[in-house]
Amino acid sequence: MIKELLKKISIAFGGSAMATGNSSPEQTTVSSGEKEADGSLYDFPVVTLADMKNHPDAINDMYTGKTDGFLIKNFLSTEDADKLLEQLMEVKKTSNELANVPEGFTYPTVFAEYSIRTSKLSAEEQAGEIKKYFLKNEVFNNQFNNQFGVDTHKFITDFFSSLAGGRTVEVPSGNDDVGKYPFATFRYLMPEKGLMSVHCGNYFGQTFEKFYSHLNTKVATKDQMSFFIMLQEPEEGGELSLFNFRWRDGQTKVSSVEDNEVIQPDGSKVYVQTDTQIRKNKLRPKKGDMILFQGGNIWHRVERIKGTIPRITYGGFLSLSYDGKTIYFWS
């Protein structure tokens, strides 16, 4: 049944180790010219949901640099992951809300992409479209359990609450407190085309300034964290690679899709594919696993998808309010 489902999804959509515990993600072959580190570059244990009870302030610990991340085994059951995949197929058949890009699509549309779509409209038209966007997302968030049959909105909220050190956890409201950001998005990466080029959250903060201008009124987005749940693993590739350097103010790239050169504040350049001092750790989560990490300041990449099965994940970002009393998560 599962094999049939995977086959249907592939057709419908167009078709290392870092641990302080006893288990570790699978190692895979390193791309030509890039070298995998001999040991762990970051504090990034492989844990269970039960183990996370020992980290009641994990979100703030990542935000303040006390730890770097977690690979959480079996965050979702295989059955729940398959329910999400099956309903995503239905969305693909009936929805025009997919954000299609050359490497795949996201659903619902993330606001950074939506703001680009509406950038050519007049200010009045933009305001109207953005209002509609946030109202649609509020419906999406509230109806997710009914539509997809798995209440991941509540599950993720409750999980982050257990790691929040007593802080409130919520999804930020849209412009003028109308509607909501999506609490998470599906990301589909096509075989042979799909990848996410080297980046970090702080780089996006300066690249998509218009998007972050509103979010920054509520959320301390610098050093924001990232999370995603693996719903479908590719046959090969698709690992999360963490490089051995962090964000420094003034770093940039020539474009958001550049996948080798990172320009340093002094104008010098780091080439992640060829510089001999660059190393990386590669993580390959299994179906249902969650990765939660300091994606704001660790430069990272999702490796190119190989084989015939697409990589499908579900996730977003999170950070603290300026007063430190609230954890916000969004996509």
pLDDT reported for residue 228 = 98
| Lowest mean pLDDT across 97-111, 154-168, 253-267 | 97-111
Please give the residue range of the domain that contains residue 110: 2-247+280-330
| Mean pLDDT in residue range 145-149 | 95
Mean pLDDT of all residues belonging to the chain: 88
Asked whether the CA dihedral 156, 159, 164, 168 is positive or negative, the reply is positive
Average pLDDT over residues 243-259: 94
According to the model, what pLDDT value does residue 20 have? 32
In this prediction, residues 136-146 reach a mean pLDDT of 96
Please indicate, yes or no, if residue 42 is contained in any of the structural domains: yes
Separation CA 59–CA 41 (nearest Å): 20
- Give me the phi and psi of 114, to 5 degrees please: -65, -40
pLDDT for the residue 27:
33
Tens digit of pLDDT for each residue in 178-235? Answer: 999 999 999 999 998 878 899 999 998 887 777 788 899 999 999 999 999 999 999 9
CB 208 within 8 Å of CB 178:
no
Q: What is the mean pLDDT of residues 109-125?
A: 79
pLDDT in tens, 278-316: 999 999 999 999 999 999 999 999 999 999 999 999 999
Among the ranges given (71-75, 112-116, 239-243), the one the predictor scored with the smallest mean pLDDT: 112-116
| CA atoms of 320 and 326, how far apart (whole Å) | 6
User: Percentage helix, strand, coil, to 5, in the chain?
Assistant: 30, 25, 45
Is 236 a residue whose pLDDT tops 60? yes
- Rounded to a whole number of angstroms, the CA Rg of the chain reads 19
Predicted pLDDT of residue 10:
39
Binned at pLDDT 50, 70 and 90, residue 113 comes out as confident
The answer to whether position 257 is within a domain reads no
How many other β-carbons are positioned within 10 Å of the β-carbon of residue 56?
14
Assess if residue 258 is contained within a domain: no
Global pTM reads 0.87
- Residue 313 belongs to domain with CATH number: 2.60.120.620
* Angle subtended by helix axes 123-148 and 152-162, to nearest 10: 90
Mean pLDDT of all residues in 262-272: 96
**Across 76-97, average pLDDT:** 90
Residue 167 placed within a domain? yes
In a domain, 121, yes or no: yes
The mean per-residue pLDDT over the stretch 116-144 comes to 89
Whether 271 is covered by a domain: the verdict is: no
Residue 17 has pLDDT above 80, yes or no: no
Q: How many domains does the chain have?
A: 1
Does 201 fall in a domain? yes
Q: Which of 326, 323, 61 is nearest to 173 (CA)?
A: 326
The pLDDT-based confidence of 112 (bands split at 50, 70, 90) is: low
Contact 172, 215 (CB under 8 A): yes
Rounded Cα gap, residues 95 and 49, in angstroms: 34
Residue 105 lies in a domain: yes
For 225-272, the DSSP string reads EEEEEEEE--SEE--EEEEEEE--TT-B-SSTT--SEEE-TTS-EEET
Q: In Å, what is the CA distance from 249 to each residue of 177, 200, 252, 296?
A: 31, 12, 9, 12
